[in-house]
Structure formats: C-alpha cells, structure tokens
Amino acid sequence: MRTTFLLTTLAAATVMAARAQDIAGDWQGTLKPAAGAQLHLLIHISKTTDGSLKATMDSLDQDALGIAVSAIAVKDSKLTFTSDEVHGSYEGKVNAGASAIEGTWTQGTPFPLNFTRAVKPSDIDGTWEGTLDVGQKLRLVLHLTTTKDGLDATLDSPDQGAGGIAATTVKRDGAALTLEIAMIGAKYQGNVAKDLSTIEGTFSQGGGSFPLLLKRKSLDKADVKPAQPRRPQNPEKPYPYRAEDLKYPNPKAAIQLAGTLTIPTGKGPFPAVVLITGSGQQNRDEFLLGHSPFLVLSDYLTRKGIEVLRSDDRGAGESGGDFAASTTADFATDVEAAVAYLKTRPEVDPHRIGLAGHSEGGVIAPMVAARNRDVAFIVTMAGTGVPGDQIIVAQVIAGGEAAGMSHEDAAAAGMKQRRILDAVEHEKDESALKQTLADELKGTPGPQFDTVYRQLTSPWYRYFLTYDPAPALRQVTCPVLAINGEKDVQVPPQLNLPAIRKALQDGGNKNFEAVELPGLNHLFQHAKTGAVSEYAQIEETFAPEAMDKIANWIVGLR
C-alpha cells in the first residue's frame, strides 16, 4: 500500500539561501521503491553568485536528465529540497565532512535515500538497449551506473511492464561484462566492443540461452528533457459543475483540513461522498506516480450528479496537523469532520452522505461507518479484510512474483518479512528488536537501517500491523460496495474480498456487493501484471468501468 517512485517531470526552479557545509557538487544515491527494484539518482548542486543554492536532478534509470529542483536549502547540517510538480520532497542530514547525506525521499510515501559524493562514471555508464527473441520479441533496457562500490545495474522489460529490476552482481574484466539478476533467475554474459558502441552476448534464464546484442543509447544532457506523462483522463477547465476550495475543522484533533468540493449543476439536494486517500501522505487528488486518481474520480462522479469532497491529508497541501505522529484511527476523525461539514451544506441531502476510501481509506470507511450513523453508504476501493501484517506479507509475495521472481523465492521473501513483522509486533525490548532486525536485514548500511527501523516502529506502522478490519465491518449496517482489482498485488483480492464478504455477512448486513474487477491493478488501471513498476507507465489513471460501477451504485441507492 505504501509504494511510489520518483517521477521524471519538470518544475520551475527557485532557490533559497544556504548555510553550514559546502555541499556544492554532484551527489549520487539509490532509491528502492519496491522489492528488487531501484532507481539511481544524481543531484547536481551549485552556488549562484549571491551564495544561494540551485540544483537539478537526474533519474538515470528513467533517462530523465535535468529535473528541476524547486527549492533547496541547508541549515544546521539539515538539507531539504523539493520538486513541486511531482509533490516530492527530501530531508537529510549532512555529515561533518560533507561527504554523505542520510535522509528520506517522500512522495506520498517516505523511502530511505542516502547520497554520497558522485564518483567518476566508467566508459560504459549509461543506457543500453536490445531485443531478446524467445519465440516472441521482448525489448530489454540495461542501465549501468558507477557507484562508490563499483558498477551497478538495473534492467527494464518494457513489453512486460517491468522496470528497475536490480542486478545482484555486476562484474567487468576488460571487455567481458557479467550480470546476474537473482530476482528473475537470469544471467547476461557479454563483451564490450572496442568503440564502446555495443555489448554482444548471451542472456540466460530458466535453462534457456539466447543471443542479446545491446546498443548504447545516446543521451545528450542538453537535449534530453523528461517527457511529461500523458494523463488523458485529467479533466480540464472549465468544468460543467462548480468547484469550491474550502477549509473545515476537526475539533477532536484541533486542526483545520483543506479540500475541494465539487457540486453538480441543478438544484439538488444531491447525494454526497467523502473520498479517503490511501496510505502515505497524499494531497486531495491522491497524487502519486504522475496520476491524480481522486481528481479523475471526483470529476466523473460529479458529472453523474454526486457531490464530492476530497481533502489534503494532515500536514499535506493546506491541511494542518502532524501526519507522522498520526495513525489510521486519527485519520478516521478527519473523515468524521468531513461528514460533519457536508451536513452543513444546503445542497447536500443529509440522508445520503457516504464514504469512498481507497486502500487504507477502505479500512477507514467502515471504521467510521460502524460508529457514525450519519454515514449512509460506503465504497471500499482496494480495501482490506484482514490484519495489516497479513497484507504486508501477501504484498511481498504477490509483488515479487509480478516482478518476475519464482514462486519459491517470493515465498521465501514472504517468510523473511513475516519474521520481521513478528519481531516488531511482539519484541518489547528495543535493543533485542534492533538486533533481530539487524540479523534479518544483514547487509543493509547503518544509516539506511536506522531509517528502516524508524519506519517499522512508527506509530502508524505498529497500528496498521495489528488492526483487524473485520470487527468494524461486522458493525456496518449501511449499504456497502467493495471493489478490488483482479491484478492488485498490494491488496490481493483473493485474500481480502472473501474476508470482507464474511465479515459483512456475519454482521447481518443484507445490502452489500463485493466485486473483483478483471484486469485491474491496485490503482484500478488496466494492467499487464499488476506490478508497482507499471503504475507510472500506464497512461490510464482510473478504469472507466470501475468509476461507472461506483457512480451507478451510489445513484441507485434509495
């Protein structure tokens, strides 16, 4: 549920004054947004004539150069920078020698990201492309990057919707280059041409060996501009309805929340729905991976005669509050505040106010409906039916298989994850817990381990691991629509939909539907494998049949 990538779009550059260490120069780091996937990043920091800082960023595995940094500053050894258009931010601590930065990249979800001074690239650094003929032709893209530890590599398979697959080992001996990619059980052995234009070799996988000629992709940094991803479903103004930006209070948390209310044409009163974002800090559009699912969904529902309120999460956008210190239960009070606000709107039918939650939002919706009789209906979109620790283990297994791991390797990764979660849930002694996690995460650098440890023991994570949605579902008496995508690897439908059905039935709810939608992933996009790596590559933001199902179900309620 907490999965995102660094995006490759541009933002307008601004600068802020910098103090403390001199961090001008090139820095490299590796972002690991999913199991077995990685993105190599470079940030180029320079000083202007007035002493302030400016920066650009490269995402080497995505061939995206010159991504503008919106704002960058250093104060008291703390480095911060942002990229407004991708809603991404970085916060890190610069060490005393200004040779390393330990921190976190956040774009909806936080991920560890540490930088070190960039090393000189080798003569084969860059992007290489070839076509593998295995009875059908598959394009492969190899990204080679020199790090302080030597050559590193990732592999993309565009025709299979897979990207950023990390090589386990990369060895070069003169012209000979050998790669091993344990995640997909593959190996490549090739020879680099003297003119450095090709690598000719053999790709081996599953007992078969196939010739593979890789050609260097020429990238001129001055000419390459990251392509803005096409998002054809994003609505364009003027809208055929009224959109109102607003704020409303959450008295329980003593904070103000900000959102957008979209109001259909006509007199009303209208049915209304509160959209609830998934896990990780999101803005009101649930922006992630270049997509704005809630912008698209709210537009669709409003055109169908449904009033929609979508809001920034705590601490995001214009909403107040401390997101990092909050749990799912705290977010539920934000939703109750939204319902209370809608009851004050004269064009809203107070007897037809409902909730539609995605992912974690699908956990929050029944939590609120179980105790708040003002909720007339709920829609869970990729909502869960089992405790969080079961979800996370299932994610590891399903996500690994979708990315090309064998079932055995994926199951082993799931068992390892289970051991980690058991320790987090049950070990009360902090030093013992740290040692257990250090043993399980052997090989993880110290600074990165500390970041992972903080995430595993955060209030949100500990609450999510043990929270069982079934008791709340059993108490929901209003109508329920539960939809999950067939190819969802983050909240697998075969694990969750039966549990949701059973809980509703056990509670005596007679008015519900639980539907698995064919071919759709966790974001309700039409997908090939459902792997997280596909999300940003797919142009579609929200499958029309999923939105139509939601709209028709809400309108049909009486």
Contacts of 381 (CB under 8 A, 6+ apart): 356, 357, 358, 359, 361, 362, 483, 484, 524, 546, 550
Contact 237, 251 (CB under 8 A): no
Give the integer Cα–Cα distance in Å for 314 and 342.
Answer: 19
User: Given its phi and psi angles, is residue 92 left (phi above 0), alpha (psi -120 to 50 degrees) or beta?
Assistant: beta
The alpha carbon of 219 is separated from its chain's Cα centroid by a whole number of angstroms, namely 28
Q: What pLDDT sits at residue 17?
A: 31
Give the integer Cα–Cα distance in Å for 73 and 58.
Answer: 19
Tell me the per-residue pLDDT of 305-357, one tens digit each, with 9 for 90 and over: 999 999 999 988 899 999 888 999 999 999 999 999 999 999 999 999 999 99
The pairing of beta strand 88-94 with beta strand 100-107: antiparallel
Q: What pLDDT sits at residue 228?
A: 55
Tokens 């180029």 -> residue = 44
Q: What pLDDT sits at residue 120?
A: 87
Tokens of 187: 């190996």
Look at residues 233, 242, 259, 380 and name the one whose alpha carbon lies nearest to residue 307. 242
Contact 129, 217 (CB under 8 A): yes
SS3 473: helix
Enumerate domains of the chain plus CATH numbers.
25-117 (2.40.128.120), 126-217 (2.40.128), 242-386+468-556 (3.40.50.1820), 389-464 (no CATH)
Q: What pLDDT sits at residue 305?
A: 97
Rounded to 10°, the helix 388-402/407-426 angle is 160
Looking at this protein, which amino acid is placed at residue 366? P
Contact 241, 263 (CB under 8 A): yes
What length does the chain have?
558
Q: In the beta sheet, which residues pair with residue 78?
A: 75, 93
Low-confidence stretches of the chain (pLDDT < 50) are: 2-20, 221-226
The pairing of beta strand 255-263 with beta strand 242-250: antiparallel
Contacts of 97 (CB under 8 A, 6+ apart): none
SS3 323: coil
Rounded to 10°, the helix 388-402/493-506 angle is 150
pTM: 0.69
Sequence-ordered alpha helix ranges (H) in 457-492: 459-466, 470-474
Q: What pLDDT sits at residue 287?
A: 86
Annotate 76-131 with DSSP letters as a single string: TTEEEEEEGGGTEEEEEEE-TTSSEEEEEEEESEEEEEEEEEPPPP-TT-EEEEEE
Q: What pLDDT sits at residue 86?
A: 63
